[in-house]
Amino acid sequence: MEFFRNTNIDFLGKKWYFLAFSLIFSVAGVLSMLFWHHIPYGVDFRGGTLVYVKFSHTPDDNALRAAMNSAGLHNAKIQRYDVPSANKVLIDLDVRETSEQALDQGKAQIINTLEKNVTPGKIDLNNAPFLTIKNYLMDKDPMHLGADADQKYTQQAQAILDVRDKVNGGVLNSFDQLKSTVDAAVLASLPDGFFLSDFGVYNVEIVGPQVGAQLRKQALLATCYSLAGMLVYLGFRFEWIYGVAAVVTVFHDTLITVGAFSLLNKEISLTVIAAILTLIGYSNNDTIVVFDRIRENIKLMRREKLSDIVNRSINQTLSRTILTAGLTFLTVLALYLFGGEVLRGFSLALVIGILIGTYSSIAIAAPILVAYQDWRVSKGKRPAATPVRAR
Amino acid sequence: MQKNLLWRLIVIIATLIVFLFGIFGIPQGLSGKTLLEAMTNRIHLGLDLRGGTHLILQVQVNDAVNVDAQNAIEVLKEQLNKNKVAFSDISQPDPQNEPDKIVIKGLPPEGRKTLLDILSERLSEYTYSSGTENTYTLTMKPQMLTELKNKAVTQAIETIRNRIDQLGVSEPTIQEHGLGQYQILVQLPGVDDPGRVKDIMQSTAMLEIKEVLGGPYSSEQQALQEKGGVLPPDAILLPGHAVPGAPPDQQAWYLVSRVSAVRGKDLRDAQPSTDENGQPDVQFTLTGEGGQRFYNFTSAHVGDRLAVVLDNKVQEVANIREAIRDQGRISGGSMTQQQAKDLSMILRSGALPAGIKYLEERTVGPSLGTDSIRHGVMAAVIGMSAVLIFMLIYYRAAGVNADVALLLNLIILLGFMGYFEAVLTLPGIAGVILTVGMGVDSNVLIFERIREELRNGKTPPSAVDQGFSHAWITIVDTHVTTIVSAAILFIFGTGPVKGFAVTLTFGLLANLFTAVFVSRAIFDWVLSRKGRGEALSI
């Protein structure tokens, strides 16, 4: 099977269309970053408190909002996530409500506000950690065990947690759900010390303001170092203009990807930065493959114009470019569709980035080389932006 | 040709065995369950997959510098007095921001030599500069300052590790974090309610025994009034309880000596216990040297009162009835049994050299971890099968070649992780998937080149040869750039992101071997079985 055989498309002739396309997306992204959604920083970068909660029933957003308000958390954002049937809610507190002194204060307030069916002196089993359950069992000793109590109750407490977290996704509706796995005496003793609220805490992220600023700086630095690394390596392997062309291309990809996040108002988290750095590497791959071919062809076709050589090189590598991009895209798409909530931002960045990165190695990187040579010719210099010293 | 192939086959099989061992070790059995168990014994799951708590702590290193400066001031005062050199004041002008700066005021010119002697003999970590009007400024040498701060971090890590170990948290990670910001990363797998652990880690546990000079006062103002508006220079006011067991809002203030008779490092042991009323308390024992000092102090102050001070809060005030050598207790009012147990553990583990602040706290609930594993595995299986199947359809027999190379690539990647005890995180799984997507690029590059050479009329053996040699340069270039990206991620990233950088790097390194060496060997083997002029299935 073969998709592209002997294609002969004049890519360079379409460079003005490419330029217009890239400009529209870059400018739209930049405008959105400046005036619309700005850069939607995730909690890693802006700081704040995120509490992910799973309810045992469909939560009522308005009631939740009212409850938060009455607890004094006026800026809390309440947002459903995942599929609706999962009954999951994200409660998002601003960094201003995340104190440096008592970092987890907001989280404690949220959990206290959500608690239902509270019975004085009893503990919420849906939000009780392992040790609390085990210590309770050790104190009560419902199975009347002697020497091996520690081991037995460790098992029992673990069994309770397994049913709660692995079978029921974090929330128990009634003690009866434990019936088949937990010892009858243990089960009978539970209601004396525990009650069941209607939610379980799924995930908590608290980032203080200081860390946010530090991470922003680090992410920016990492991206810059990455770009500089590419510039140096390509400058060393090819001619410096190749390095410049590749870095401009990758910068273009990064700008459009970040712009897309701003346009879509999707949050940029640490993992999204990881995806962007991966893209810098990936987009460079594509560019290098084309450049390598140009370098090879320049040696073979000394008489021809650079623009013809470039066009020929792009066409020769087109099959590979599309295939690789397609296959990587396939894996990334699987990640986006099946990888779950946690990886959604990460895989979205890759999905966008792989499309842009493939496009740009053809539409941006190669035309820069030709434009540079044309500029040199117009200045009356040696018409060679050609890497004579191929290593 | 045949002999050469055999040799390469041996290399490939040896690699396979070495890395399979890296993944599974020596397996106990061959059923799916035992293999999975063997694998998770060697490749550890990250916090985001198994659930737990991730904390970043800031060590307030200036505290440690302040202690050193305070000590230096004491030494200066003592030595200048001993040498009968007059001075009007020695103090830190700005302990908050410049804790390493000490200013000496009103030192007469003839005292300069004595000062220099003291500096060179006792305080070699400070440099001095003289200002106008007999003023001298001491500043800590930058190198010593950094050393002191780093030591505070190392000590804090040590102390926190002691405490966490005693809490029975399995496989905790406690290490310096960030690039010279004096931060500590603490990861506690399986701990999904960090409240108590956090309190225990944060407690400075600075125990001191001081002489009580006045009090209790109901407020700071009252204390000041009674002392005529100025506190004696060698005394400080500390909060505490008026009556043991009083509610926390009924605070009382005590005037106590600035100098401590006994400090935390004089402590030998601390154990939970109960007082005469059956209330939980903590009994502590002093070291020989500390006990001697305590004996001297108590014998000189019979009839006076002493205060047991913990983290600058008065816990206990008692009359000294007779000289005491090495025993003491802390009850501080209403302590529960658990609190008494925790406090004695904290005291035994030693004091933190500086205060600690929490900067970041992330808790992954166990059900999220389970979900993430399920999602990660599903995405991996679907993504990889899509690639493998596509390669088979598009390249036919050569597709088998690519798929074998990719599977071997995966085995080597996981084996690497087993050997290096790398941690598999959710982004790490994404890295594995991406490795397959990007690793297949090398195969595509080579195969497309071979097809091109075949179209140009080359014979299969020479097309394969040309394909590999032309693609090789490109493959090296593309891998290097991606590994540069991953390396930078590894340096800057934390936790999950680091896991991603690790799998991506290992995966691409393995890819160099599988896509080029292994794939070439398979091609050569196929060619060696074909007759001259027979077509290649690609």
Grade residue A68 by pLDDT with cuts at 50, 70 and 90: confident
A254 and A186 part of one domain: no
pLDDT in tens, A90-134: 998 888 777 777 788 888 888 888 887 788 888 888 888 887 888
- The CA dihedral of A164, A166, A170, A175, to the nearest 10 degrees, is -20
Q: pTM for the whole thing? A: 0.81
pLDDT at A365 over 80: yes
Please tell me whether residues B441 and B512 are part of one structural domain. Answer: yes
Q: Decide if B441 is inside a domain.
A: yes
Q: Which of B320, B337, B354 is the last residue of a domain?
A: B337
Same domain, B32 and B92: no
Q: Report if residue B405 sits inside a domain.
A: yes
A6: chain B residues, CB-CB within 8 Å: 455
Q: How far is CA A251 from CA A244, A257, A268, A332, B330, in A?
A: 10, 10, 17, 21, 63
B56 interface with A at CB cutoff 8 Å: yes
Contacts of A200 in chain B (CB under 8 A): 365, 367
Task: Mark whether B46 and B66 lie in a shared domain.
Answer: no
Q: Is residue A386 part of a domain?
A: no
pLDDT for B244 beyond 70: no
- Which CATH number goes with the domain that contains B468? 1.20.1640.10
Partner A contacted by B7 (CB < 8 A) = no
Cβ–Cβ < 8 Å for A114, A56: no
CATH of the domain at B81: 3.90.1070
If asked whether residues A118 and A143 sit together in one domain, one would say yes
Mean pLDDT on B372-378: 91
Looking at A206, A233, A248, the residue that finishes a domain is A206
| Averaged pLDDT score across all residues of chain B | 83
Q: Using CB atoms, which residue from A161, A210, A334 is nearest to B383?
A: A334
Q: Residues of A with CB below 8 A from B195's CB?
A: 104
In a domain, B328, yes or no: yes
pLDDT at A352: 95
Residue A75 and residue A187 share a domain? yes
Residues A264, A324, single domain; the answer is yes
pLDDT, one tens digit per residue, over B251-297 is 778 888 877 777 777 777 888 888 777 778 888 887 777 778 888 88
Domain boundary among B316, B337, B358: B337
Which tokens belong to B78? 């003592």
Cβ-Cβ contacts under 8 Å, A207 against chain B: 359-360
Mean pLDDT along residues B423-443? 87
A155 part of contact set with chain B, CB < 8 Å = no
Which CATH number covers residue A221? 1.20.1640.10
Verify that A58 and A185 share a domain, yes or no: yes
Tokens read off for A91: 């409660």
Per the domain annotation, does A6 fall within a domain? no
Is the pLDDT confidence value at A251 over 90? yes
pLDDT tens track for B218-239: 777 777 777 777 777 677 788 8
Q: Where are the beta strands (DSSP E) in A243-354?
A: none
Residue B277, domain CATH:
3.30.1360.200
Q: Which of 188-207 (B) contact A at CB < 8 A?
A: 190-195, 198
Q: What is the torsion angle, in degrees rounded to the nearest 10, for the CA atoms of residue A288, residue A24, residue B434 and residue A315? A: -40
Q: Which two tokens stand for residue B295?
A: 């004996």
Place of tokens 């993944």: B23
Domains of chain A: total: 2
Chain A within 8 Å of B362 (Cβ-Cβ)? yes
Q: State whether B506 and B431 are in the same domain.
A: yes
- Give domain status of residue A4, yes or no: no
Is residue B23 in a domain? Answer: yes
For residue A321, being part of any structural domain is answered with yes
- SS3 letters for B61-108? HHHHHHHHHHHHHHHHHHHHHHCCCCCCEEECCCCCCCCCEEEEECCC
Please check whether residue A181 is in contact with residue A190, taking contact to mean a CB–CB distance below 8 angstroms: no
Cis peptide before B142 (omega within 30 of 0): no
Domain count, chain B: 3
Domain coverage including residue A66? 48-206
Which domain-ending residue is among B94, B127, B145? B145
Please report, rounded to a whole number, the percentage of residues in chain B having pLDDT higher than 90. 16
B78, B222: one domain: no
Most confident of A127-131, A258-262, B521-525: A258-262
Contact map slice: B 294-353 vs A, CB within 8 A: none
Q: Are residues B93 and B232 part of one domain?
A: no
Residue in this structure with the two tokens 């070495």, named with its chain if needed: B18
A188 has a chain B CB within 8 A of its CB: no
Which ipTM did the prediction report? 0.85
Please give the Cα distance from A290 to A298 (Å, whole number). Answer: 12
The answer to whether the CB atoms of A165 and B393 lie below 8 A apart is no
Domain holding B324, by residue range, is 207-337
Residue A2 touches chain B, beta carbons under 8 Å: yes
Q: Are residues A351 and A258 part of one domain?
A: yes
B16, part of any domain: yes
Whether residue B383 is found in the same domain as residue B506: yes
Residues B383 and B494 in one domain: yes
- φ, ψ at B312 (rounded to 5°): 65, 25
In a domain, A345, yes or no: yes
The verdict on A124 and A21 lying in the same domain is no
Interval A201-243: pLDDT, tens:
888 999 888 888 888 888 888 888 888 888 888 888 888 899 9
User: Which among A202, A204, A206, A255 is positioned nearest to A44, based on CA atoms?
Assistant: A206
Record: contact A233-B366, CB cut-off 8 A: no
Q: Are residues A221 and A291 in the same domain?
A: yes
* pLDDT tens per residue, range A310-357: 999 999 999 889 998 999 999 999 999 998 888 899 999 999 999 999
> What is residue B433's predicted lDDT score, i.e. its pLDDT?
86
A residues 218-237 lying closer than 8 A (beta carbon) to B = 218-219, 221-222, 225-226, 229-230, 233-234, 237
Sign of CA dihedral B298, B300, B302, B303: negative
Residue A389 has pLDDT above 70, yes or no: no
Residues A305 and A173 in one domain: no
A151 located within any domain = yes
**Which chain B residues are Cβ-neighbours of A2 within 8 angstroms?**
451
How many other C-beta atoms lie within 10 A of the C-beta of residue A391?
8
CB contact under 8 A, B473 and A292: yes
Does residue A244 share a domain with residue A119?
A: no
Q: Is residue A385 part of a domain?
A: no
Among B380, B398, B437, B409, which Cα is nearest to A327's? B437
Residue B15 maps to a domain? yes
Size of interface A-B (CB pairs under 8 A): 242
Q: Is the pLDDT of residue A77 over 60?
A: yes
